[in-house]
Amino acid sequence: MPQHTVIPVLSEEVREALDQGRPVVALESTILAHGLPRPRNLAVGEELEALVRAEGAVPATVAVLDGVPHAGLDKAQLERVAGGEGVRKFGHRDLAPALAAGATGATTVSATAFLAARAGLRVFATGGLGGVHREWVRSQDESADLSLLARTRITVVCAGVKSILDVPATLQRLETLGVSVLGYGTDRFPGFYLSSSGHPVDWTVTRPEEVAAVMAAQEALGGADSALLVANPVAEEEQLDPELHDRVLAQALTECRERGITGQAVTPFLLDFLVRATGGASLEANLAAVRGNVRLGARIAVAWAGR
Which tens digits make up the pLDDT trace of 33-59?
A: 988 888 999 999 999 999 999 999 999
Beta strands in the chain (DSSP E): 9-10, 24-27, 58-65, 68-71, 88-90, 105-107, 123-125, 155-158, 180-184, 203-205, 228-231
Q: What is the pLDDT of residue 140?
A: 55
Is the model's pLDDT at 150 over the cut of 50? yes
Q: What is the pLDDT of residue 266?
A: 77
Q: What is the pLDDT of residue 3?
A: 56
Q: Any residues with CB less than 8 A from the CB of 85 and at least 6 apart, and which?
A: none
1-121 maps to CATH 3.40.1790.10: yes
Percentage of residues in the chain having pLDDT higher than 70 = 95
Q: What is the pLDDT of residue 263?
A: 67
Please compute the mean of the pLDDT values over residues 86-108 and round it to a whole number.
96
Q: What is the pLDDT of residue 269?
A: 87
Q: Which of 85, 135, 162, 238 is catalytic?
A: 162
As a whole number of angstroms, the distance between CA 278 and CA 95 comes to 35
User: Annotated binding site for Mn(2+), which residues?
Assistant: 141
Q: What is the pLDDT of residue 136?
A: 57
Higher-pLDDT residue of 20 and 1 is: 20
Q: What is the pLDDT of residue 52?
A: 98
**Any idea which of 119-123, 151-155, 160-164, 227-231 has the lowest mean pLDDT?**
160-164
Q: Any residues with CB less than 8 A from the CB of 18 and at least 6 apart, and which?
A: 10, 24, 119, 120, 121
If one looks up domain 130-307 in CATH, what number appears? 3.40.1790.10
Q: Which of 28, 49, 55, 142 is catalytic?
A: 28
Domain boundaries along the sequence of the chain: 1-121, 130-307
User: Annotated binding site for substrate, which residues?
Assistant: 89, 109, 143-145
As a whole number of angstroms, the distance between CA 107 and CA 105 comes to 6
Confidence of residue 270 (pLDDT cuts 50, 70, 90): confident
Nearest to 199 by CA among 180, 186, 212, 214: 186
Q: What is the pLDDT of residue 1?
A: 40
Hey, do 1-121 and 130-307 end up sharing a CATH topology, with the first three levels equal?
yes
> DSSP characters for 11-53?
PHHHHHHHHTT--EEEE-SHHHHTSS-TTHHHHHHHHHHHHHH
Q: Any residues with CB less than 8 A from the CB of 86 and at least 6 apart, and which?
A: 104
**Any idea which of 219-233, 243-257, 258-272 has the lowest mean pLDDT?**
258-272
Per the annotation, the verdict on 28 as an active-site residue is yes
Q: What is the pLDDT of residue 85?
A: 84
Q: What is the pLDDT of residue 138?
A: 57
Is the model's pLDDT at 135 over the cut of 70? no
Per the annotation, the verdict on 162 as an active-site residue is yes
**Any idea which of 73-87, 234-248, 250-264 has the lowest mean pLDDT?**
250-264
Higher-pLDDT residue of 162 and 221 is: 221
Please compute the mean of the pLDDT values over residues 253-269 and round it to a whole number.
82
Is the model's pLDDT at 78 over the cut of 80? yes
Please compute the mean of the pLDDT values over residues 229-239 and round it to a whole number.
97
User: Annotated binding site, which residues?
Assistant: 89, 109, 141, 143-145
Question: Cβ of 34: how many Cβ atoms within 10 Å?
Answer: 17
Confidence of residue 13 (pLDDT cuts 50, 70, 90): very high
Percentage of residues in the chain having pLDDT higher than 90 = 81
Which tens digits make up the pLDDT trace of 187-200?
A: 999 999 999 999 99
